[in-house]
Structure 1
């Protein structure tokens, strides 16, 4: 993995993720590098300050473009501002009021972008228990009629519906497959605003999303796949194991046990995991996370399964992929991406172009 910050893997991974999002129109590479040039390694104050400054500057440009009726420019600018505000708040403690303030600005900019001109992403509300979960539906490209296959895309500990749109969705829809991203319990605005914390029985929110997709007239209910990234590898695997409507399951990074493979394996994420499960202490977090396991679950999966994982993943243990594969009894494949070919980082962050091609071609084959 290329280390923008030579001695800082987590920060370098975020830089890689930003570049990947820039390739998919979520940011601009040069704007990113200009901000990064002003951020010394491990200077958390500078990280927040410089990304906020960048976001505010791009938001001003977007507002000016609206005044001049340059709506394409404005739309693009608001999307980039969304990404930079979201990046600014990333390392802040959840008790820091600046975190929610920057996150709110991010969603506001995304909403403004999506309201300008032709809607890029159809915002949906998924009925769930006594509330709704937000998501975005993106139709298959090049398909003018009929019911298309669809992928339900689930994020992990720090990703949510809007961000997922810049993590491969356009690569899926180009293959004639619709895609719906969702923000579930423990994620994005659902945990920040609605106070719905993550839960081990994630087949429930996933099932609600599948219910919603089944009711759409442009979706083929016999060809609904499920994909999860990072900790979403646990969510997706559990959903596919306990809901027979899932026609294929793709793990964009595995997570067999949230406690063993993530919380204990990568200490920097512990405070975030404690927060998303609504725990008041590390001991309570460990107790709650101990229930997030695929043991006795993944062997129930019937649909085809593809597991992808980086051999040098320092965020989620590569053992997660091995354990998931060993216990699954369905038609299954596993690819451990090696450093020699690139892709050995977390969720193949250092080789997304080839990883997307490999994963989404597999999806297309399963849903053909």
Structure 2
């Protein structure tokens, strides 16, 4: 008998070609093949979250292994309606997070399985499955955006429908407007009298309807004649972090698209602006990565806008879940604020965790309305 102390592999090529490379995942000597591993037990969904339309899910799975002897890893599959499997991922631990699991059409259930795999690449039984139940999204979700919530009497205000795609008809209700109802998909409205007004949108299809009411969304005042005032230029800034002095928080309010605030590390990332005094705030415009010349994959995906009068107690006023654009505009009911905070929880379209904000413009009036 001899003792093996080392094992190597040499690969050579007749010609040099930089377009090719070789990668070895594992090189090993293994013993005699044993029986395939037994199935795992108690596959469990520990936590689940769904997007706004119930089309994607984040799922935390865990399970118990029957044996660790010669076990290499676990494979996670989705069981399709025809009995076939779709590979979702692999891990060498007894838990796994499924990110953005896509719903299969209008099916209300998705079966998930965990398959143990040993060092000989033998797969065990997968009879222990778990079922993810999706929310009922047959009825359309009603949602909309508006180009301006703070305006003067007679100004035109444009509403954009953001309801789920399965909606087939709409009904709008505009309290106090010159035309109080509309069935247009994206209506325009004017108001003659000063005041604050509610807006309701109902989205319908053959399965039913759902509505959303935004209370006191529209503020009409003679003080809002013309364009809204940029309140944030060179405002005092602070942030949860930043990469270096050339990408500091103040770069997001310098009025330039060749400078940015950038922070790395685990989200959320926060950027706080001190406007210097109490103002009336009704919109925040953001310039993301592509606006500054970077790739669209680096555009900020999800964030929350918060406001405060004292810098201690903050209120959420706007939420974006799925942005892909280079620039974005969040409008919300006019509110008194001195501090405006951006909280980014999904910094990019991909796995990159660095946030990139080239400009953060806070819009409104320099004076309060009360």
TM-score w.r.t. the length of structure 1 is 0.25
TM-score w.r.t. the length of structure 2 is 0.25
* Higher Cα radius of gyration: 2
Q: Say which structure is richer in strand.
A: 2
